[in-house]
């Protein structure tokens, strides 16, 4: 009987453990956080659980294990990786394990895959919507709310896989018929040991491609294109103004013809259009959809929350929630989408250069800095515009309301992780939306 050490018991870790036990395998559960829910989960699987093992205890557990599956949240600097290497234990991610299981089935289902610093989830969801429009029951999995391994027992006929660097770093065989690397910028330096490590992890999306596979690249990124060409796969490009998939006179266009006019999309900010081109490319080039089916999906596509999400408009001021922007590069997308912005930014810095956010300061009228990185944000925008520091989201929303006038956009686009004040970016975005609603309600009462 195979024994797997599952380290980290959040969504992905639990999905891995549950699937392996259901297949008759044994798991040893480990986490660095003591939690009653972890203990209850272990009991439900009749499995051993250890919390914060010492180095010696970890080595003992590894001795009993045939392989290791760390959760995505376990950074590569964790001693688990070094001890596993020393003991020559194979280490793999959730998507690698799921991929191996799927490939052993009698009829492996097709997959398209998406990676990049920003835009992964949106493009993954768009691709899943396109596949569904093409009549193939599809799920958006991986670095989404559904790990790939949790979807294996579903009736899905195809998978759109969001591949984070955390998952890609530990792949050995994973590949998709068509896959896209959207972009690259510094991020996750609190997980990866270096920027080069982060880049190498992303590049693994194309490490195992065959000549019949397709690697989709951003037209103007020569570094990503170089990696794609070295894979031996067929290379296809996308870009706003050029590439195999591009926009011509407002029409999204590809080698097989026109797809639709950008005005037909539910939302068509610049990044919405390029994400749509990327999603179209991987689904069409994989032979899983045609232009008509892509157009139908894009007309009806509504993005997931917390991604430049419209919240409300009051007195000519529009409020947007972009809590998912947890890096300066991600925030730059939102900052380039509007003309006059009161920006709410800050949180837990992931070891990134926050001064990058100020490069787009021409559109920023004022900044409200929040979280443990508030002083860094304030320093980044010092001299460029008015800056205030808020001690809570309520204060931040109130400050922003006073700074904004008709025609302005108040934008929560933190450029930082949420783990200082919140459990996750979703909780941060929900708090922002609640405070905006309360503010507007109070303003209406007073009026």
Res. 200 pLDDT band, cuts 50 70 90 = very high
Instruction: Examine the pLDDT at 315 and tell me if it is beyond 80.
Output: yes
CB proximity list for 375: less than 8 A, separation 6 or greater: 369, 389
Residue 102 inside a domain? The answer is no
Q: How many CA atoms lie within 13 A of 105 on its CB side?
A: 12
- My answer on whether 351 and 431 are in the same domain is yes
Residue 28 lies in a domain: yes
In a domain, 140, yes or no: yes
DSSP string over 194-231: SHHHHHHHHHGGGTT--TTSEEEEETT-HHHHHHHHHT
pLDDT of 1: 84
Tell me, yes or no, whether 155 and 178 share the same domain.
yes
What's residue 447's pLDDT?
A: 62
pTM: 0.85
Give yes or no: residues 161 and 292 share one domain.
Answer: yes
pLDDT in tens, 380-416: 999 889 999 999 999 999 999 999 999 999 999 999 9
**CA-to-CA distance for 217 and 194, rounded, in angstroms?**
23
Give the pLDDT of residue 49.
96
Tokens for 242?
């050029």
- Residue 192 in this model has a pLDDT that exceeds 80: no
- Same-domain status, 219 and 237: yes
191 falls in which pLDDT band (50, 70, 90)?
confident
User: What single string gives the DSSP state of each residue in 300-363?
Assistant: H--PPTTSSEEEEEETTEEEEE-TT--SHHHHHHHHTT-SSEEEEEESB--S--GGGGGGGGGG
* Gyration radius of the chain over CA positions: 23
Q: What does the mean pLDDT of the chain come to?
A: 95
Burial of 417 (0-12, 13-18, 19+ CB in 10 A): buried
335, part of any domain: yes
In terms of domains, do 36 and 165 share one?
no
Same domain? For 124 and 235 the reply is yes
Reading the block at residue 107, the tokens are: 């009829």
Instruction: Choose one of 278, 300, 322: the last residue of a domain.
Output: 300
Q: What is the pLDDT of residue 443?
A: 81
379-388's contacts with Cβ under 8 Å and 24+ in sequence apart are 379/355, 380/354, 380/355, 381/357, 384/358, 385/361
440 and 377 assigned to the same domain: yes
State the sign of the Cα–Cα–Cα–Cα dihedral 71, 46, 145, 95: positive
Is pLDDT of 360 > 70? no
Instruction: Decide if 226 is inside a domain.
Output: yes
Candidates 444, 433, 394; CA nearest to 311 is: 433
Percentage of the chain modeled with pLDDT above 90: 87
Q: Tokens for 32? A: 């660095």
Distance CA 275, CA 281 (A): 10
CA dist 357 and 258 (Å) reads 36
Q: What would the mean pLDDT of 354-375 be, rounded to a whole number? A: 91
- Show the domain range for 278: 107-300
- Per-residue pLDDT of 83-104, as tens digits, reads 999 999 999 999 999 999 999 9
Structure tokens at 55: 């180095």
Nearest to 418 by CA among 378, 372, 377, 376: 372
Of 391, 322, 326, whose CA–CA distance to 352 is shortest? Answer: 326
Residue 61 tokens, joined = 């557990």
Mean pLDDT of 13-42: 96
Summarised one tens digit per residue, pLDDT across range 275-310 is 999 999 999 999 999 999 999 999 999 888 899 999
Domain of residue 46, CATH code: 3.40.50.720
Residue 178: partners with Cβ closer than 8 Å, 6 or more residues away: 112, 113, 213, 214, 215, 216, 281, 282, 283, 285, 286
Phi-psi region of 78 (alpha: psi -120 to 50; beta: other; left: phi over 0): beta
pLDDT single digits (tens) 140-171: 999 888 999 999 999 999 999 999 998 999 99
Mean pLDDT for the stretch of residues 213-229 = 97
- Same domain flag for 30 and 166: no
Are 174 and 39 found together in one domain? no
| Alpha carbon distance 362, 381 (integer Å) | 11
CATH code for the domain in which residue 372 is found: 3.90.190.20
- Together in a domain, 242 and 163: yes
Number of domains making up the chain: 3
- The CATH number of residue 233's host domain is 3.40.1190.10
Do 124 and 192 share a domain, yes or no? yes
Task: Judge contact between 104 and 132, C-beta under 8 A.
Answer: no
**Residue 189: pLDDT above 80?**
no
348 with 419: CB under 8 angstroms?
Answer: yes
Same domain? For 157 and 203 the reply is yes
């Amino acid at each position: 009987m195979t024994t797997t050490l599952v380290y980290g018991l959040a969504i992905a870790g639990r999905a891995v453990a549950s699937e392996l036990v259901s297949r008759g395998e044994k798991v040893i559960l480990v986490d660095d956080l003591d939690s009653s829910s972890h203990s209850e989960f272990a009991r439900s699987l009749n499995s051993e659980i250890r919390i914060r093992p010492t180095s010696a205890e970890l080595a003992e557990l590894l001795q009993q294990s045939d392989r290791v599956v760390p959760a995505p949240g376990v950074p590569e600097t964790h001693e688990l990786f070094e001890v596993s290497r020393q003991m020559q234990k194979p280490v793999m991610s959730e998507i690698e394990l799921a991929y191996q299981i799927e490939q052993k089935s009698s009829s492996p289902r097709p997959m398209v895959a998406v990676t990049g610093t920003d835009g992964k989830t949106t493009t993954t969801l768009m691709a899943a919507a396109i596949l569904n429009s093409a009549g193939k029951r599809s799920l958006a999995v991986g670095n989404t709310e559904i790990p790939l391994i949790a979807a294996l027992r579903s009736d899905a006929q195809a998978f759109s896989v969001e591949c984070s660097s955390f998952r890609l770093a530990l792949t050995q065989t994973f590949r998709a018929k068509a896959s896209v690397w959207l972009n690259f910028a510094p991020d996750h330096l609190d997980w990866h040991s270096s920027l080069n490590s982060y880049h190498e992890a992303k590049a693994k999306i194309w490490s195992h491609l065959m000549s019949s596979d397709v690697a989709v690249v951003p037209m103007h990124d020569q570094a990503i294109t170089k990696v794609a060409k070295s894979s031996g796969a067929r290379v296809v490009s996308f870009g706003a103004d050029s590439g195999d998939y591009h926009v011509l006179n407002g029409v999204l266009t590809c080698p097989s013809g026109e797809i639709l006019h950008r005005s037909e999309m539910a939302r068509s900010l610049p990044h919405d259009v390029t994400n749509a081109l990327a999603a179209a490319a991987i689904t069409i080039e994989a032979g899983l959809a045609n232009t008509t089916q892509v157009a139908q999906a894009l007309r009806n596509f509504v993005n997931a929350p917390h991604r430049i999400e419209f919240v409300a408009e009051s007195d000519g001021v529009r409020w947007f929630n972009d809590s998912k922007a947890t890096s300066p590069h991600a925030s730059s997308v939102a900052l380039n989408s509007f003309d006059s912005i009161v920006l709410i930014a800050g949180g837990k810095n992931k070891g990134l250069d926050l001064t990058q956010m100020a490069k787009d300061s021409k559109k920023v009228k004022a900044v409200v800095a929040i979280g443990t990185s508030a002083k860094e944000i304030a320093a980044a925008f010092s001299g460029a515009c008015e800056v205030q520091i808020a001690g809570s989201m309520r204060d931040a929303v109130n400050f922003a309301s006073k700074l904004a006038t008709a025609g302005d956009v108040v934008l929560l686009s933190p450029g930082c992780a949420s783990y200082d004040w919140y459990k996750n970016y979703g909780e941060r975005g929900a708090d922002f939306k609640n405070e905006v609603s309360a503010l507007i309600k109070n303003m209406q009462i007073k009026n």
